[in-house]
Amino acid sequence: MNIDWAALGQVFGTTLVVTVAMVGLFTLGIVGTSRKPRQEGEAGTAAAVGGGTSAVARTGGYACFALCLAAVGYGIFLIVAG
């Protein structure tokens, strides 16, 4: 019996890192592009009460979404190339 621990460990590590990274990125995207109900104390954010997002946060958010989109594209590539 020869259990391929290396492959299993690799799958586990990759899954953990990629999942957390993807979910983290996407959440940052949501955070960046959504309204802020609470003041977070960031310097230079002149957010109006109950609405408005700083341009930096919004751009960052879109960048996060773009990275996620790229990851989805890579996923589709993996399936197609499978």
Partner 1 sequence: MEHITLLIGIVIVTALVFDFTNGFHDTANAMATTISTGALKPKTAVAMSAALNLVGAFLSVEVAKTISGGIIDEGAGIRPEVIFAGLVGAIVWNLLTWLAGLPSSSSHALFGGLIGATLVSVGIGGVNADAVVMKVLIPAVAAPIVAGIAATAATRLTYRLARNRAEEDSAKGYRAGQIASAALVSLAHGTNDAQKTMGVITLALITGGVLAPQADPPLWVIASAGIAIALGTYLGGWRIIRTMGKGITDIQPPQGFAAQTGAAVTILASSHLGFALSTTQVCSGAVMGSGLGRKGGVVRWSTAGRMVIAWGLTLPAAALVAAGAAFLAGQGTWGVTTVAVLGVAICGAIWAASRRKPVDHSNVNDVAPAESAAPAGVVTAALQSVAPPPAGSTTAGAGTIEGIPAQSTTRSPATSAVR
Binding footprint of partner 1 on the chain (CB under 8 A): 1-4, 7-8, 10-12, 14-16, 18-20, 22-24, 26-31, 33-38, 40, 68, 72, 75-76, 78-80, 82
- Mark out the alpha helices in the chain (DSSP H runs): 5-33, 55-81
Closest separation between CB of residue 23 and partner 1, Å? 4
- Establish how many alpha carbons lie within 13 A of residue 20's alpha carbon, considering only the half-sphere containing its beta carbon: 6
Min CB(28)–partner 1 separation in Å: 6
Count of positions (residues) in the chain: 82
User: Could you tell me the smallest distance in angstroms from the CB atom of residue 46 to partner 1?
Assistant: 17
CA 2 to chain centre: 37
